[in-house]
Amino acid sequence: MNNKVMEVTVRCAEPLEVGETPKGYLRVIPIIGGTFEGPRLKGKVIPGGADWNMTREDGVAEVFAKYTIETDDGVLISVTNEGTIKPNGERIITKPTFLVAIGKYDWLNDEIFIGTLDPLPTSEGIVVKLSFYHGGAVLE
């Protein structure tokens, strides 16, 4: 059984460097678009969200992204994705949550998900690939 819910490719603008704060170094990375696809849904990433990326004194970066995706049939889904990036470059694991109106995709509201985040090499700005799985999936 394939536990992948969707793969999301997110395009980002250059980071806005807020700078050193009492909690760590903050940069805000605007989300400017992208696409997503999975076995039960597909569509586009709506521009306007961002990742509030905080690098703590211990070198660990905290990821907190909030954005909206729109399915091909016009349903808007709010996505919140949180995780940490360790300085040793281990795979980045996240915990995505979704909020969507009652209907075809409301199964996203109640299930538990895990994700991975991988930067994609590109000459066209910052692009990351997110893979979201049902919570019971084993990450390879």
CATH of domain 4-133: 2.40.160.20
Residue 1 has pLDDT above 70, yes or no: no
pLDDT tens string 24-83: 999 999 999 999 999 999 999 999 999 999 999 998 989 999 999 999 999 999 999 999
Whole-prediction pTM? 0.90
**Ranges 67-71, 119-123, 124-128, 130-134, most confident:** 67-71
What secondary structure does DSSP assign to 59-115, as a single string?
SPEEEEEEEEEEETTS-EEEEEEEEEE-TT-PPEEEEEEEEE-SSTTTHHHHS-EEE
